[in-house]
Amino acid sequence: MRNVDLRLDPKWIVPIEPTGCLSGHALIVDAGCIVALVPTAVADSAYAARSRLELPGHVLMPGLVNAHTHAAMTLFRGVADDLPLQTWLEREIWPREARFVSPEFVYDGVRLATAEMLKGGTTCFNDMYFYPDATARACLETGIRAMLGLIVLDFPTPYAADPDAYLQQGLAMRDAHKHAPTLSFSLAPHAPYTVGDATWEKIVMYARQLDLPISTHVSETAIEVAQSLERHGLTPIARLHRLGATGPGFIGIHGVHLAPADVDLLATHGGHLVHCPVSNMKLGSGIAPVPALLARGINVALGTDGAASNNRQDGWSEMRIAALLAKVGSGDPSVVPAQQALHMATLGGARALGLDGSIGSLVPGKQADVVAVDVTAIRTLPCYDPLSHLVHVAGRECVTDVWIGGERVVAGRRLATADEGAIAARARIWQERLK
């Protein structure tokens, strides 16, 4: 008998790797890692767990990975709807950011976002925003796993005066937190249209020296692509390729308007695409060619984008709508079946962030980032196929318990790592200020 920290006995386990669904199995966790997924009888004879939880109406699955957001913007949730991207940015978002965004705003906003994400089963996110040091502090407190983007823009903001200042602040943040086991880092130039060639070249240099991925918005709108063709004679992706930014560490966000040659380029050089279906729909940006990307073997992850253009930090909604949108966008109802949607929401996200060696599936040796989903409610009955239900029927409201690296961060639908009342009180204060 091996002594271990935790044994979970759910009705079903959806490990993502391998595909499909196990029943009659237990999940064994020790020292923060998954030790085994074994039949109950094997668990009985081989493991003595210090803690054990029966989950007779639950599916266990890996935590969802939100591969693109601006977590602090949760304080702007629903502040301006029904506008196209450029108007929305230039008239509604950028002026509010210039006036209100501070380390305090970011800290409070990220605490709110991570409370929402954790309670909804998202255990890891890829962030791009100002004051990432405040984001890091909030994440360390709530226990969520995060990849922090070292944001870079060519224009000044209260956070930084010029590209070098953005980079210096980002690198200092990384130095301060680089030993935190739940944090990782990317270079995060905002977009091809807000960052010029000279800055891109510096970013590519840092990415190579420090072995960091590059995470950027790209080809989000038709206008962006048209302007890139006009100014540079190249699509945004082709321009980034010429600048040396593409490759296996390239995390392209949105990719709504990709030319066939852009898809070839991503397929050939190993870039990842973060699909943000709700944001793309809400801003009227278009439908990303997800079935074509998947058919070419390109890794596709899912992101919520910020709460100002969504208006949720809800990986379940993103997963279901990604499946539905791919079907209607292609006219082919067979694309993005449930297993594929679940893969994009978990292991696809982990791969995009370069973390698939440690998270994204319930495989022995990986970190125990695990979500328990209650499928006993009236709205989830009957259940012929748990995979189908996870995508099309379940939602974040079905998540009852969440572990990250074996630590229980949500217990019985309550956040275990931070005071929800205090987080809500700060959100209400910002609501009054921003009104």
Residues contributing to the site for a second copy (CB under 8 A): 75, 77-79, 81-84, 88, 112, 115-116, 119-120, 278, 280-287, 310-314, 321, 323-325, 327-328, 330-335, 337-338, 376, 378-379, 381-385, 388-389, 392-393, 395-397, 415, 420, 423-424, 427-428, 430-431, 434-435
Q: Are 426 and 400 in contact (CB under 8 A)?
A: no
> Helix or strand or coil: residue 189?
strand
Nearer to a second copy, 198 or 328 (CB): 328
Question: Measured from the CB of residue 395, what is the shortest distance to a second copy in angstroms?
Answer: 7
Could you tell me how far CA 227 lies from the centroid of its own chain? 28
CB atoms < 10 A from the CB of 394, how many? 25
Least Cβ distance, residue 350 to a second copy (angstroms): 24
In the bound state with a second copy, the residue whose beta carbon lies nearer, of 179 and 428, is: 428
Q: Distances in Å between the alpha carbon of 71 and those of 139, 264, 398?
A: 10, 32, 22
Q: How far apart are CB 39 and a second copy at their closest, in Å?
A: 22
Nearer to a second copy, 96 or 202 (CB): 96
Strands 47-62, 2-13: pairing kind: parallel
Toward a second copy, which CB reaches closer, 106 or 152? 106
What's the min distance (Å) between Cβ of 118 and a second copy? 10
Going by their DSSP bridges, the two strands 122-128 and 414-415 should be labelled as: unpaired
What tokens appear for 282 in the block? 């809400």
Minimum distance of a second copy from residue 237's CB (angstroms): 21
Q: Measured from the CB of residue 382, what is the shortest distance to a second copy in angstroms?
A: 3
Q: How far apart are CA 394 and CA 387, in angstroms?
A: 10
- Residue 83 tokens read as 């506008």
User: 53 or 83: whose CB is closer to a second copy?
Assistant: 83
CB of 62 to a second copy, least distance (A): 21
Contact by Cβ (8 Å): 247, 272? no
Tell how far CA 1 is from the center of its chain: 38
**Closer residue to a second copy in complex, CB, 160/326:** 326
Rounded Cα distance between 360 and 358, Å, is 7
Cβ distance 262 to 238 under 8 Å? yes
**Is 234 or 287 the residue whose CB approaches a second copy more closely?**
287
Instruction: Give 279 or 358: the residue with its C-beta nearer to a second copy.
Output: 279
Largest CA-CA distance found in the chain, in angstroms, rounded: 68
* Nearer of residues 292 and 324 to a second copy, judged by Cβ: 324
Element containing residue 415 per DSSP (H, E): strand 414-415
**Least distance between a second copy and beta carbon 43 (Å):** 26
Report the C-alpha gap between 164 and 202 in whole angstroms: 9
Residue 130 Cα distances to 69, 151, 173, 303, 352, angstroms: 12, 7, 11, 18, 22
3-class SS at 149? strand
When the beta carbons of 179 and 435 are compared against a second copy, the nearer one is 435
Q: How far is the CB of 52 from a second copy (least distance, A)?
A: 26
- Whichever of 43 and 375 has its CB closer to a second copy, that residue is 375
CB of 377: closest distance to a second copy in angstroms? Answer: 9
- For residues 303, 376, 384, 369, the Cα torsion angle rounded to the nearest 10 degrees is 40
Sequence-ordered list of residues with C-beta below 8 angstroms from that of 420, at least 6 positions apart, any chain: 115, 414
The sign one gets for the Cα dihedral 371, 280, 218, 69 is negative
| Contact in structure between 435 and 100 (CB atoms under 8 Å) | no
Least spacing, CB of residue 301 vs a second copy, in Å = 20
